[in-house]
Structure 1
Amino acid sequence: LSSGSSALLSRLQQLQCHFTWDLKKEDVDLENLSTRLQEHIKLQLGQRGAVTRSYSYLAYVRYSFLSEEALSLLNQSEETIRESYGDESERRLIVTYGDMAWLKYHTGDYAQSQSYCQRVEDILVCTAPVHPAKVYGEQAWTYLKFSRSSLSKAIDCFCKALEVQTHDSEWNAGYAIALFRTEQVKSPAITQLRLALEINPDDAVLQSMLAVKLGAYKEYQEAEELLNKALKTDPDNPHVNRYIGKHFRNQVGLSGDSSSIDMLERALKRADQSPFIHHQLALCYKMKKIADSNLTLISCPTGAVRYWRRRCIHHLKVAVEIRPSFVLALTDLAQLYAEQRDLSRAEEIFQQCLKLAESEKSLFQTVHQRYGDFFFFNKKTEAEAIAHYTQVSWALLLPPCKYEWRQCAKRLKQIADRRLTKTRRDGQALALLGLVARAEGDRKKAAEFYEEALNCDEDNEEYLCAVCELRLELQ
């Protein structure tokens, strides 16, 4: 680099924008993110800042494919910001101008890049100290939409924005949505959703999200009231229909009610490229299939079960066509193929999921648990099932509330207990019980199981190491 371009690059690195926020593109499906952002713009979803934010974010995503398109999107972002905020627009252009400076730099237009850097610096001088909240808020929304792995960063940035602008409706709403997506047992999302709704009481998306959370805590009356408000406020918003459909799916269970299907079908009419809605619909049809399977022996013909399975497979296939990296939908699809005894096709999809889970660690356990079930129930190969249930030593060291943890522990106990009914000299079965006991926090019981396993297999280093570690922990 020349001294001039080197100085410019140093100046660019000081900017706060998509190019400097360490967005790891390998963590996300860029095509899927691009589709979602385009839908947000097309449907004008969210508060007034949401569309302008989507333009600049989409520009960053599309820059990877076509710089001319990215430039056009950034111009649209600036135009929309000026239309929406008027005299207040300058402070909201910090991120857009930062992106523009980087884009001009990458296309070799150093003079224009310098110009946009100067614009940002001028805005910062004029708008301090309000500008940190605007930047933190924009950064938080970016992390929130980017990938699940950046959720903690989104929460942190929303908190920083709210320290400066406590009652800002966009930051409060974003913070509530970020908390909603966490899986804590006692979620703080309910408190934050209520606060966000106090500031913006007519936000139908927040109403529907709060209803989902309240339903999970069996506060059904308030949840139903919020659902009615959301439907009255914005009945055609696909996000509203998505969350309401999820609420009905969670509450209906196996009763066979069609409310969630109707709601999600309505959402699909406005957002037919949403893999999430297709997946939710598939799960609804899966519930119908299970409900009819339970009735088959009484009155329901098996044809109904096959029909619901076909509907389920159809929507799962569409979901993964739109988003090929949609691991949960892929594992659901693999399980259905296994039901149909198409085992080779199911195993091929599970292998694909294992590769995807290497980069999406939050789903690593889900894939191994479901793949283990495939071997346990469908292929009847116990050794492979055990290998997946115990994949790496921390496979069971998840919070005990996690569904995957409970399922792995349950299956391993089933396998071990069955084998020990035949003989108490089964070292592997005893070691499995030791692993589960250790994961459950019962070190004393775990040590006893491993010692008994070691008596069966005196040269087993794994059992010996486990005994030594547990005895040290018990001292």
Structure 2
Amino acid sequence: MNKRDTNLTDLLTRLEQHRDLNLGDKAGTAHTHNSLAHIKYLFGYYEEALTNLKKSVELTKDFYGDNCDEKLIVTYGNFAWLHFHMKQYAECQSYLEKLKEIEEKNPRVSTSALHPEVLGEKAWALFKFSRKYYSRAQDCFKKALELEPEDGECNAGYAIVLYRTETKCVSPEDSSALKQLRRAIETNPDNDELKLLLALKLAEFKLFDEAEDLVERALEMSPDSPHVIRYVGKYMRNYGSLDRSISLLKRALDVSPNSAFIHHQLALCYKQIKEKFREHPKSQTFRNLSISHFEKAITLKSDFILAMAQLAILYGEDGQIHRAEVVFETALDKTAQQKNEGVQALYLYYGEFLQYRKRDKHQAIKYYKDCLKMNPGTLDGKKSAKNLRKIANKRLSYNINDTMALGILEFIEQVTGEKQFTACEHPLESTSKHE
């Protein structure tokens, strides 16, 4: 893993929040301590790294009992590796001997890279380190499950990474994430976070009865868990009541005031209310509330690209053009330094800002094209194609031989594979000169 692929300070903050809030079971928290040990090592805090590894062992033994040597092979390997780098060679040798004893006592246990426990730990580390490594994490979880199909942690991890990476499917039968979430719940019946992810996935296919039953069960079983409440809030924002979503998210914020995710969800709630009641006297109040929570989210998570793009758009709507430009430029700088999620949305939003606030269609076209090239099948990709098509047809309504417009339509066709019609050929796409 490359340090340049993530913001280590933000990652450290997220892992410490996960640890402090006791999110997940003890086995999951043990994984968190292993990841924290690695980050502390990268910062040069060797003693703190050792403390986290010791805590990982303690939690693993609490969860699995004393006969859990197989579950500790990765942690013991981390101990040996860390002591070696600290030049504590006797301690390093001691852990290497422990690993050898475990292998001798348990013939089925291997400390090789193909052991399910090693694959699982590697998958969780990749998953937590950077979105850039999600595909590698997915492969590791899959390989681990081929060796241990009933492993609850790997089933959960595989489900979550599929949920995060799956693009929109046509039907439930096509959704690998939905199938794996069901499987993960079978092996983790008390994991309410998985139930909520399944609810959100079911809602995509309008299977609301089952989804709402899962939401109610999760909230009943974990009424004070900020991790659960934030997903319930997201479900309510997308498919239920905005008022209830805000109430739940505020409750979660009382428990976890430094959660960038919760501030982001609240910002989106207030943004939706603002858009729903554009002419309402309190529209500006809702915009201000949304801006405030977006600002807090990016303060807490400095590489939160999606939130930065959404904040910049609101600044633009509010007439704060210079502030919007600064935020957009900062976000673009960060995407140049390292791969961040939200880049496609950033290109779309920046294109719209350039087109409608700066009146710079030439630059807007560039970013719409960048957005479309990233993934033409997503909502952001489709919206960029629509915006490009509108610009092209507007120009063609003045001059049917406009080379720039024809070039735009040709580009869309090349990227999407869909035949593009000019304004004259396809009246539904035409745009009046007096529009």
Distance across 1 between alignment mates of 2:161 and 2:209: 25
In structure 1, the residue matched to 2:272 is 287
Return the letter of the residue paired with 1:262. Answer: S
Equivalence for 1:331: 309
Find 2:48's aligned residue among 64, 69, 74.
69
- Counterpart-to-counterpart distance in 2, 1:317 and 1:444: 40
**In the alignment, is residue 83 of structure 1 matched against residue 71 of structure 2?**
no
Q: Which residue matches 1:119?
A: 98
**Identity level (%):** 40
SS at match of 2:66: helix
The answer to whether structure 1 residue 145 and structure 2 residue 128 are counterparts is yes
- Number of paired residues? 412
Is 1:263 matched with 2:248? yes
Alignment of 1:32 with 2:20, yes or no, is no
Q: Structure 1 stretches of 5 or more lacking a match?
A: 1-22, 450-475
Tell me by how many angstroms 1:399 deviates: 4.3
Q: Is the 8 A contact 2:152 2:188 kept in 1?
A: yes
Q: In 2, Cα distance between the equivalents of 1:220 and 1:111?
A: 59
1:373 equivalent among 331, 339, 352:
352
Query: Are 1:390 and 2:373 an aligned pair?
Result: no
Aligned match of 1:103: 82
Secondary structure of the structure 2 residue equivalent to 1:433: helix
* Residue in structure 2 matched with residue 208 of structure 1 by the alignment: 196
| Structure-2 separation of matches of 1:175 and 1:325 | 25
2:411 is equivalent to residue 423 of structure 1: no
CA offset digits 1:351-407 (Å, max 9, x no partner): 11112222216543322221111011111121221222234xxx5335442122112
Matched-pair contact (CA < 8 Å) for 1:357–1:367 = no
Matched, 1:276 2:254: no
Instruction: Name the SS of the counterpart of 1:379 in structure 2.
Output: coil
Please identify, of 406-415 and 354-363, the stretch whose mean Cα deviation from structure 2 is larger. 354-363
TM-score (norm 1): 0.82
Which residue in the other structure is 1:222 paired with?
210
- Is contact 1:208-1:226 (8 Å) kept? yes
Contact kept in structure 2, 1:35 and 1:273, CA below 8 Å:
no
Paired with 1:128 and 1:234, the residues of 2 have a C-alpha distance of 40
Give a deviation string over 1:34-80, Cα, whole Å, max 9, x none: 22222222222212311212112111111222112112222222222
State how far apart, in whole Å, the 2-side matches of 1:422 and 1:229 are.
59
Structure 1 residues 194 and 389, CA, compared in 2 at 3 Å: closer, same or farther?
Answer: same
1:177 matched to 2:165: no
* Residues in 1 aligned to 2:401 and 2:144: alpha-carbon distance in whole angstroms: 61
1:162 counterpart (126, 145, 148): 145
Q: Which runs of 5+ in 2 are unaligned?
A: 170-174, 426-435
RMSD across aligned positions (CA):
2.0
Q: For 1:158 and 1:61, how far apart are their aligned partners in 2?
A: 22
User: 2:34–2:52: 8 Å Cα contact kept in structure 1?
Assistant: yes
Partner of 1:54: 32
State the 1:436 CA deviation.
1.4
CA contact (8 A) 1:334 1:350 kept: yes
What is the CA–CA distance in structure 2 between the aligned matches of 1:28 and 1:305, rounded to whole Å? 37
| CA deviation profile, 1:146-187 (whole Å, cap 9, x unmatched) | 221111122211112212221122221221111111233333
